């Protein structure tokens, strides 16, 4: 069994895999990290290996605790990936994006695949049928757009994510919801359309914190999954263990 750990800026995602099947997952705050790992160790004593991806603040004690508990792979740009990286600046490519591409290689081998990760930012990442990572795009996500309208204007309010009922906002709040939500939906649809013009057989994956909200408002034919990043970490661990 494998333990996968994704450390973000605010939350940490924990997953336990039995080969390729996820048998446990949880999202915790950073101050609960050691307690959660201890609980997982007791509940799943067959865990032998672990992989840790950290884009947030993981302190030395937490790192040591995982390393002392399991045979641990700390994910960085030196770790072997199951794809060829053709990004012009590979050392600046976000670890989370590399993980998502790895999941795409594992689950959709030899397919032209676009991975859309809808979180704080929306990232678009493309790997081709030759398992080559080409690149993609980074755009502000839903909540970032709401906060930007509030932070960079004098009078626009900060609103919580709400599904607009109409394209035509008949109040300032309705207009903001329409602009943010429909703006992102049209952006995603437009990006997919452009990729499909080049790659008609395109496979599209939608993941991230806002995937569920957005997938209900996008056309069918998109694979929406909440575990894609954890599955990518497990794939990278298996890939490195097999070498």
Question: Given 96, 106, 125, 210, which residue is catalytic?
Answer: 96
Flag whether 12 is marked binding: yes
94 is in an annotated binding site: yes
Contacts of 3 (CB under 8 A, 6+ apart): 14, 15, 16, 37, 40, 44, 47, 49, 50, 51, 66, 70
Check whether 195 is labelled as a binding-site residue: no
Q: Is 10 one of the annotated binding-site residues?
A: yes
| 39 appears as a binding residue in the annotation | no
Nearest to 120 by CA among 157, 94, 90, 153: 94
Flag whether 209 is marked binding. Answer: no
Cross-strand partners of 11: 29
Residue 11 among known ligand-binding residues: yes
227 is in an annotated binding site: no
Q: How many Å apart are CA 161 and CA 139, to the nearest integer?
A: 17
CB atoms closer than 10 angstroms to residue 114 = 22
| Residue 96 a catalytic site member | yes
Residue ranges at the known binding site for ATP: 6-13, 120
For the annotated catalytic residues, the residue numbers are 96
């Amino acid at each position: 069994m494998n333990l996968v750990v994704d450390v973000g800026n605010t939350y940490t995602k924990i997953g336990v895999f039995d080969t390729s099947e996820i048998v446990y997952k949880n999202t915790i705050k950073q101050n609960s990290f050691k307690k959660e790992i201890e609980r997982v160790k007791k509940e799943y004593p067959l865990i032998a290996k672990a992989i840790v991806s950290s884009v947030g603040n993981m302190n030395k004690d937490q790192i040591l605790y995982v390393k002392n508990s399991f045979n641990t792979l700390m994910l960085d740009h030196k770790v072997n990936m199951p794809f060829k990286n053709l990004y012009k600046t590979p050392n600046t490519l976000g670890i989370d994006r590399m993980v998502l591409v790895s999941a795409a290689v594992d689950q959709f081998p030899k397919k032209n695949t676009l991975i859309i990760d809808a979180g704080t930012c929306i990232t678009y990442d493309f790997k081709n049928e030759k398992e080559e990572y080409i690149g993609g795009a980074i755009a502000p996500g839903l909540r970032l757009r709401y906060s930007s309208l509030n932070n960079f204007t004098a009078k626009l309010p900060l609103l919580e994510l709400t599904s607009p009922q109409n394209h035509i906002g008949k109040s300032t709040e309705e207009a903001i919801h329409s602009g943010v939500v429909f703006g992102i939906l049209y952006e995603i649809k437009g990006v997919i359309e452009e990729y499909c013009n080049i790659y008609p057989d395109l496979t599209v994956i939608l993941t991230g914190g806002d995937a569920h909200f957005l997938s209900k408002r996008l056309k069918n034919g998109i694979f929406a999954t909440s575990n894609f990043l954890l599955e990518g970490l497990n794939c990278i661990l298996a890939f490195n263990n097999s070498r």
